[in-house]
């Protein structure tokens, strides 16, 4: 197993080392910094490949190459950081609800982090508008995170603890989880299914999100949304040049003509 390079990781997420202490402030700083500088993107499964979750492969892709990834990659890296910086963190496998009354298979990885006897949900890898700061595991209590309101509630029928976001039309279910022990094989299997299963969205649609100081940049195929201070600007990327510019200027990715053209060929008619 490779050695985690603290300095290189902190440089990648542009975080001052003094802010990475194993306390609540440090957890908030790490989560927000990673979500702001390592983009959620599913280009690897979209172009027909299963992401490699080996630690050296994650490091090379996300840190050395400057790429992004989806939940198993982003939270795989985040989990290494949590361990390295001294946090008491346990992995969590969740069912994605996507606004529906019931979730799908356990296909999302996040973490429960215990600090001073209190548990927090911490997540750097959900592309669907999850909180960008840790949430207390307190049921039915609305929590405001950078202007967005979330809550956790118990679903008596499924046994899940469900994460919800308050939208204009009411509470939207994001994902649900149970306090089950997670094995590495659970993550490996879910990663393969997420990348290859035709009922999962990752092999057929491009999904991207990155946190900004004012909000987020989101992309679904060619549909771009720039969210600033609660206001949303929407537009469609009509040309490859516009797509390429969005990748480098809005989503912090290094220019990669071969990859970008492969992805554009997948989405240009959507």
DSSP string, 130-161: --SS-EE--BT--EEETTEEEEEEE-TTT--E
Which residue among the candidates 5, 16, 52, 71 is catalytic per the annotation? Answer: 71
Mean pLDDT of 10-34: 98
Q: How many residues does the chain have?
A: 270
- The two structure tokens encoding residue 162: 């469900």
Q: How sure is the predictor about 1, in pLDDT bands with cuts at 50, 70 and 90?
A: low
User: Each residue of 196-233: pLDDT tens digit?
Assistant: 999 999 999 999 999 999 999 999 999 999 999 989 99
What confidence score (pLDDT) does residue 175 get? 96
DSSP 61: I
C-alpha to C-alpha distance for 194 and 201, rounded to whole angstroms: 8
C-alpha to C-alpha distance for 40 and 122, rounded to whole angstroms: 15
Pairing label, strands 170-177, 161-167: antiparallel
pLDDT over 80 at 234, yes or no: yes
**Active site includes 49?**
no
pLDDT over 90 at 131, yes or no: yes
Mean pLDDT of 131-144: 95
pTM for the model stands at 0.96
Mean pLDDT of 168-194: 95
Residue pair 44/93 in contact (Cβ under 8 Å)? The answer is no
Q: How sure is the predictor about 157, in pLDDT bands with cuts at 50, 70 and 90?
A: confident
What confidence score (pLDDT) does residue 256 get? 97
User: Each residue of 42-52: pLDDT tens digit?
Assistant: 999 999 999 99
C-alpha to C-alpha distance for 7 and 194, rounded to whole angstroms: 32
Which residue among the candidates 60, 108, 241, 257 is catalytic per the annotation? Answer: 108
H or E element: which one contains 29?
A: helix 24-37
C-alpha to C-alpha distance for 175 and 209, rounded to whole angstroms: 17
C-alpha to C-alpha distance for 148 and 164, rounded to whole angstroms: 11
- Domains of the chain, by residue range, sit at 6-267
Q: How sure is the predictor about 129, in pLDDT bands with cuts at 50, 70 and 90?
A: confident
What confidence score (pLDDT) does residue 3 get? 87
Angle of helix 24-37 relative to helix 6-13, nearest 10 degrees?
Answer: 60
Which residue among the candidates 7, 123, 241, 257 is catalytic per the annotation? Answer: 123
What confidence score (pLDDT) does residue 230 get? 86
As a CATH number, domain 6-267 is 3.30.2140.20
What confidence score (pLDDT) does residue 93 get? 97
**Active site includes 241?**
no
Q: Is 160 exposed, middle or buried (CB count within 10 Å of its CB: 0-12, 13-18, 19+)?
A: buried
Q: How sure is the predictor about 152, in pLDDT bands with cuts at 50, 70 and 90?
A: very high
DSSP 93: E
User: Each residue of 105-118: pLDDT tens digit?
Assistant: 999 999 999 999 99
């Amino acid at each position: 197993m490779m050695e985690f390079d603290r300095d290189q990781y902190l440089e990648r997420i542009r975080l001052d080392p003094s802010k990475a202490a194993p306390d609540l402030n440090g957890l908030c700083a790490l989560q927000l910094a990673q979500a702001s500088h390592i983009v959620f993107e599913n280009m690897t499964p979209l172009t027909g490949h299963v992401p490699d979750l080996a630690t050296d492969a994650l490091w090379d892709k996300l840190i050395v190459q400057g790429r992004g990834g989806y939940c198993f990659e982003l939270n795989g890296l985040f989990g290494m950081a949590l361990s390295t910086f001294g946090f008491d963190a346990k992995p969590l496998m969740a069912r994605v609800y996507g606004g529906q009354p019931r979730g799908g298979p356990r296909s999302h990885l996040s973490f429960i982090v215990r600090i001073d006897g209190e548990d927090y949900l911490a997540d750097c890898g959900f592309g669907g508008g999850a909180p960008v700061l840790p949430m207390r595991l307190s049921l039915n209590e609305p929590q405001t995170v950078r202007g967005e309101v979330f809550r956790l509630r118990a679903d008596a029928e499924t046994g899940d603890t469900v994460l919800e976001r308050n939208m204009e039309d009411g509470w939207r279910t994001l994902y649900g989880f149970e306090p089950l022990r997670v094995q590495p094989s659970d993550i490996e299997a879910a990663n393969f299914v997420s990348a290859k299963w035709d009922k999962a969205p990752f092999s057929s649609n491009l999904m991207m999100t990155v946190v900004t100081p004012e909000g987020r940049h989101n992309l679904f195929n060619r549909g771009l949304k720039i969210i600033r201070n609660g206001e949303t600007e929407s537009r469609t990327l009509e040309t490859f040049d516009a797509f390429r510019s969005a990748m480098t200027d809005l989503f912090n990715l290094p220019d990669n003509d071969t990859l970008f053209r492969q992805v554009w060929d997948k989405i240009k008619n959507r």
